[in-house]
Amino acid sequence: MIRATIIAAALLISAGTAFADEPIVGNWKTASGETAAIASCGGSYCVTLKTGKYSGRQIGKMQGKGDSYVGELTDPAEDKTYSGSGTVSGNTVRMKGCVLKIFCKSQTWTKL
Query: Residue 36 and residue 38: Cα distance in Å, rounded?
Result: 7
Position 2 scores a pLDDT of 52
Q: What is the distance between the terminal CA atoms of the chain, rounded to a whole angstrom? A: 42
Query: To the nearest whole percent, how much of the chain has pLDDT over 70?
Result: 82
Q: Residues 63, 77: contact at Cβ < 8 Å?
A: no
pLDDT at 7 over 70: no
Tabulate helix, strand, coil % of the chain (nearest 5). Answer: 15, 55, 30
H helices, E strands: number in the chain: 1, 8
Fold of the domain built from segment(s) 2-111: Lipocalin (2.40.128)
Which contiguous run of DSSP H or E holds residue 58? strand 58-65
Q: Please report, as a single letter, which amino acid is at residue 73.
A: L
Tens of pLDDT, residue by residue over 19-57, are 447 999 999 999 999 999 999 999 999 999 999 999 999
Position 12 scores a pLDDT of 39
Tens of pLDDT, residue by residue over 64-81, are 999 999 999 999 999 999
User: How many other CB atoms are found less than 10 A from the CB of residue 49?
Assistant: 20
